[in-house]
Amino acid sequence: MHACRILLKQERARCLSKSKGNYLESELTNISSGELIMVQAYVLFKVSSGTEREACKKIADFDEVLVAGVVYGEYDVIAKISVPSMMGLEEFVTEKIRKVPSVILTSTMIISREYKGKNQRRAK
């Protein structure tokens, strides 16, 4: 019972699996409220040379994108996205993102836990 209280207090998420056709879809649900937790991820993009700004603007126009930016290094663009489920993530990346003409490659990193920075914790 004590462990259950700790989980409820911290509002941790648990994974539920639902079978749909030939795949399993995982959804994250808040234990205490039963509400669906949005799946958030960072998507890294390699785009055609010289199209970084244009590609970033197109990517930022999608409703699922919280923020997008042009970056230096191995990848050209990064976007933080929020979708309602793992299936929503798969559909967003394959049906929308990969159809942007200048996108050559994507790498998706699902956020398992996120912490606010020091300055955001102070701002209330």
- Residue 23 has which token pair? 């795949």
Indicate the fold that domain 38-112 takes in CATH: Alpha-Beta Plaits (3.30.70)
List the chain domain ranges: 38-112
Q: What percentage of the chain reaches a pLDDT higher than 90?
A: 59
Rounded to 5 degrees, φ, ψ at 36 are -70, 135
Residue 33 makes CB contacts below 8 A (sequence gap 6+) with: 11
Residue 5, pLDDT > 80, answer no
Distance from C-alpha of 53 to C-alpha of 88, rounded to nearest angstrom: 26
Provide the pLDDT for residue 35: 60
Provide the pLDDT for residue 14: 36
Provide the pLDDT for residue 16: 34
- Sheet (strand 39-47) strand order: 65-70, 77-83, 39-47, 103-110
pTM (two decimals) = 0.70
